[in-house]
Each structure stands twice: as structure tokens, then as C-alpha cells.
């Protein structure tokens, strides 16, 4: 048998083993082991109490691919003089992740948004071998939190601390033992242990900024995402979400108090309300820093403070330099927007400010960034009002001395910055993200023709 054949057989065998492992339930504690046995450690007790509520999530979606017809494949691409149309084929791709049941009566599962992103049919697999279809109750990529609702099930096992009390991840101790349960690489209900390495971590990627994370050295691998992080009392203190691929033993979890608040918003109102402080900021550079008597360009410069907003009530003034939000450095305007997108309105934010040569920290409770407020700011900053009519976003009025003076009443807005928009919700979401930009590319439909125009602010 050749080396390649042995490797192929080994790979197939490993795949079959993983598939069977994913179907086998974790064995219960043997009757021979008493409750007072030294083997019944706090880790074992925590796993036994929470493991039945940990689920394996399979998200499947179909993709359309153009492939050669069987005759074309047989004849190496076709027969001279004959044309065979490409045959559309449906392929499915399955992604694996984990989750934890937090409400057994309603069948609610807490997991990561990236676990079910792009998925069609979602299936939930329980420790006892049962499988159920699930629907996405709500998801928010800015927090990487999703809530699933299991269909056709009742009296499901749930993580007990969460059904009675949402838990408190504010009293986590660096160095305390933690336990991760999940389904890495299809190995069902894998248990790993470690410690809390640090708190309040911030990680940045192409999708945004994620703040207030728990760092742990408990092994977290692909498939662990969405599973619970437990303490020795069996309390769910976090939702495992990411691992630093550059190193071993650096994983991150979303604190359960933040995950719980996001879940309540998603279940109650279908989304997490966007927030704002009531100010605009400008990027800092060395020239601006030198003019302000600073040795380095750090933070963002507050340029405007709006009336009757959290910023004004906190005593923030134009000319202040915003350096940190919850001890996370604010690098530029984009960073400022992304940091706000990863906060909930249930608690104060700690803003690190500099005024002259004085530094201070102020507590600010952000306000909901309502649609009415966003529309008013859009009219003020862009100089245009837009109305939704059917499936169209139409320009209603244009301020002739404003930056959008090239627009006409009746123009249809179909995209902003390369992102297509089809309703007011899309438009306002993009405005909230891009409201501090100096310029934007608008896509406009006028008299049946598509145009691109640059909005310079």
C-alpha cells in the first residue's frame, strides 16, 4: 500500500470517527462513583450540570455552481461541432458551531452570529441524541451574538444560572479556573479547562471592534464558537467567540452580561438599538497635536457637541480630545464609530478626555440613536432629505448651498460607498456608520440611468 493511499485511508477513517463521535453522547457519571468521591471535582460537577444544555449547531446553505455536463466531462470539455449548455448544480456547504440553551421552555439558544452567518437550514443537535430544526430569532454581527429558537421541542435542558439569573460576568477573577464546552472539529461536547488570563480585552478585525472580552487559555478551536465558558460554580460567564491564530492558548469570550443584554434586545425588538453620544470628532495628526501643545497625535478631537445630548450633559466641550472609551484607545473617527457599535445602552461608558494639559475620566450613559435623530443629522450634514416610497429611496429636498447640491428631487438613491440600499433601514444604518466621513460615493438612478457622484463634506 502506497504512502498516499495510507494517508487517504487515514483521513477517511478520521472523518468517519469524527462523524460517529459527534453522534455519541457524553457518558453519565457511573453509579460506582459517589457524590462525595474526590473524583467529583468542581470541574466535573460544572460539566455535568451544564453539558446537557450545550448544543451542536449545523448551518447548511445551497450555492449555485456552473459545472460541465457529463458528456463534456467525458469528452474533456466537449465534442467538436456540438455545444452542451453548462448544467446548474446545487452544492451544500455545512458549518459547525456550538451554542447553549438559555431558555428551555421557549427553546432559545445563545450562540455567535458568525456561526449561522449565510446559513439556510439550521439544525440543533442535543447531547441526548435528539435533533431539531431552529430558526434565527435575531443576530447582530457588531456583537457577534445570535439567538436561535428551537422548533418542535419542549422542556429542554437549559443552563440553570441563566434561566434564573442572567449571571454576572463583572466579578470574574483573573486567574480563576474556567471551563469551555463545545464541538471543535466535530468532536461532540469536548471539555477543556484553563484560567481567566485577562479581562477587558479589545480585538480588531475587518468586521469591526470587539471590546470587553474575556481572555482565556482554555483551548478554543474551530467549532467551539458559540459555546459556553463556565466558572467552577457551573455558571455561564461568557460565550466563546474567537482565538488568536498567531499563538496557542489565547482565546476570547464575550462576557455573559453583555451577551444577555444583546439577546434581550434581539428577542424583544429584533435588533440592538444603535447608540450615540451627541458629538462629532475629527482625526488627529501631528500638525494638529503641535498646535494644541501635545507631544503626540493620540485620540480624536471633539469638533461639535449637540444640545441636550449625553455629551453636553457630561460637560464635554469642542476642543476636548477623546482618548479612550472604556480604557480602549480611540485611534481615529472610524475607530470611534466601531467602538460605539459594540456597546449596549444599559450602562455608562468611561470616556478618557484631555483638555489642555489636564486629563480626566467622565461617565456617560449613551442615548439611543433614533431614526428621527439620524434623519435630522442627515439633513444637517448632507443637506438632503430622502423619503421611502415603495421599494425606492427618493430625494425629496436638496439644500442648494449644501454638499449634495448636485442631486435633484426625484433622484433615486441606490447605493452608498459601494453598498446597495433598498429601504430606509439600510440607508440609516449606513448613515450612522459613515456620518463622520469626509467624502462618500453615492450611486444614483436618474431617468433610468445609473450615476456615481462624490459627496464631499
Per-residue model confidence as pLDDT tens digits over 431-445: 999 999 999 999 999
Question: What is the pLDDT, as a whole number, of residue 346?
Answer: 80
Active site residue 244: no
Q: Is the pLDDT of residue 95 over 70?
A: no
- Grid cell 488570563 is found at 197
Q: Which three cell numbers stand for residue 270?
A: 429584533
Nearest to 61 by CA among 111, 152, 136, 7: 136
* Over residues 47-63, mean pLDDT: 85
Q: Do domains 275-368 and 376-456 have the same CATH topology?
A: yes
Active site residue 144: yes
Instruction: Work out whether strand 190-205 and strand 236-243 pair parallel, antiparallel, or are unpaired.
Output: unpaired
Per-residue model confidence as pLDDT tens digits over 3-40: 344 344 434 444 444 444 444 444 566 767 877 888 89
CA–CA separation, 255 and 201 (whole Å): 11
CA–CA separation, 345 and 116 (whole Å): 25
Per-residue model confidence as pLDDT tens digits over 366-403: 999 999 999 999 999 999 999 999 889 999 999 999 99
* Options 3.30.360.10, 1.10.760.10, 2.60.200.30, 2.40.10.10; CATH of 165-269: 2.40.10.10
Catalytic residue among 225, 265, 320, 335: 225
Domain coordinates of the chain in residue numbers? 165-269, 275-368, 376-456
Q: Is the pLDDT of residue 78 over 80?
A: no
Nearest to 292 by CA among 279, 302, 278: 302
User: What is the chain's mean pLDDT, rounded?
Assistant: 85
The count of other CB atoms within 10 Å of the CB of residue 374 is: 19
Q: Is the pLDDT of residue 447 over 50?
A: yes
Active site residue 368: no
Length of the chain: 457
Q: Is the pLDDT of residue 356 over 80?
A: yes
Q: CB–CB of 157/53 below 8 Å?
A: yes
The CATH superfamily assigned to 376-456 is PDZ domain (2.30.42.10)
Catalytic residue among 142, 144, 335, 411: 144
Q: How confident is the model at residue 263 (pLDDT cuts 50, 70, 90)?
A: very high
For 67-102, letters b (16+ CB in 10 Å) and e give ebeeebeeeeeeeeeeeeeeeeeeeeeebbbbbbbb
The CATH number that domain 275-368 falls under is 2.30.42.10
Assessment of whether the complete model's pTM goes beyond 0.75: yes
Catalytic residue among 114, 189, 265, 320: 114
How far, rounded to the nearest angstrom, does the alpha carbon of residue 272 sit from its chain's CA centroid?
Answer: 11
Amino acid at each position: 500500500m502506497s504512502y498516499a493511499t495510507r494517508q487517504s485511508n487515514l483521513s477517511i477513517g478520521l472523518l468517519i470517527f469524527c462523524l460517529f463521535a459527534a453522534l455519541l453522547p457524553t457518558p453519565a457519571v457511573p453509579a460506582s462513583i459517589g457524590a462525595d468521591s474526590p473524583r467529583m471535582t468542581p470541574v466535573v460537577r460544572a460539566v455535568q450540570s451544564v453539558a446537557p444544555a450545550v448544543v451542536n449547531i449545523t448551518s447548511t446553505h445551497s450555492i449555485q455552481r456552473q459545472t460541465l455536463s457529463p458528456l463534456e466531462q467525458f469528452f474533456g470539455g466537449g465534442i467538436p461541432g456540438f455545444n452542451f449548455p453548462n448544467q446548474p448544480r446545487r452544492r451544500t456547504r455545512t458549518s459547525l458551531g456550538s451554542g447553549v440553551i438559555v431558555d428551555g421552555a421557549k427553546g432559545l439558544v445563545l450562540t455567535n452570529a458568525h456561526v449561522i452567518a449565510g446559513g439556510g437550514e439550521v439544525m440543533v443537535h442535543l447531547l441526548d441524541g435528539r435533533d431539531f430544526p431552529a430558526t434565527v430569532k435575531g443576530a447582530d454581527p457588531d456583537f457577534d451574538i445570535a439567538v436561535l429558537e428551537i422548533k418542535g421541542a419542549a422542556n429542554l435542558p437549559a443552563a440553570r444560572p441563566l434561566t434564573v439569573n442572567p449571571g454576572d460576568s463583572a466579578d470574574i477573577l483573573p486567574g480563576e479556573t474556567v471551563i469551555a464546552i463545545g464541538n471543535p472539529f466535530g468532536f461532540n461536547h469536548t471539555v477543556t479547562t484553563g484560567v481567566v488570563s485577562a479581562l477587558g480585552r479589545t480585538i480588531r478585525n475587518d468586521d469591526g471592534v470587539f471590546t470587553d472580552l474575556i481572555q482565556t487559555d482554555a483551548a478554543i478551536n474551530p467549532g467551539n464558537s458559540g459555546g459556553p465558558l463556565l466558572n467552577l460554580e457551573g455558571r455561564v460567564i461568557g460565550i466563546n467567540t474567537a482565538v488568536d491564530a498567531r499563538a496557542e492558548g489565547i482565546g476570547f469570550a464575550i462576557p455573559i452580561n453583555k451577551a444577555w443584554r444583546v439577546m434581550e434586545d434581539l428577542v424583544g425588538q429584533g435588533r440592538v438599538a444603535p447608540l450615540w453620544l451627541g458629538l462629532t470628532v475629527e482625526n488627529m495628526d501631528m500638525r494638529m497635536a503641535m498646535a494644541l501643545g501635545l507631544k503626540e497625535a493620540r485620540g480624536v478631537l471633539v469638533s461639535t457637541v449637540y444640545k441636550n445630548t449625553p455629551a453636553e450633559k457630561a460637560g464635554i466641550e469642542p476642543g476636548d480630545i477623546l482618548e479612550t472609551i472604556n480604557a480602549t484607545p480611540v485611534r481615529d473617527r472610524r475607530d470611534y464609530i466601531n467602538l460605539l457599535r459594540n456597546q449596549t445602552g444599559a450602562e455608562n461608558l468611561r470616556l478618557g478626555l484631555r483638555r489642555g494639559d489636564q486629563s480626566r475620566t467622565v461617565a456617560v450613559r449613551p442615548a439611543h440613536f433614533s431614526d428621527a435623530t439620524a434623519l435630522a443629522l442627515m439633513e444637517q450634514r448632507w443637506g438632503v432629505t430622502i423619503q421611502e416610497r415603495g421599494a425606492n429611496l427618493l430625494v425629496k429636498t436638496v439644500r442648494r448651498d449644501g454638499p449634495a447640491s448636485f442631486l435633484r428631487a426625484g433622484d433615486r438613491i441606490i447605493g452608498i460607498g459601494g453598498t446597495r440600499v433598498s429601504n430606509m433601514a439600510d440607508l440609516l444604518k449606513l448613515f450612522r456608520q459613515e456620518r463622520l466621513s469626509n467624502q462618500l460615493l453615492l450611486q444614483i438612478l436618474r431617468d433610468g440611468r445609473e450615476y456615481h457622484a462624490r459627496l464631499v463634506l
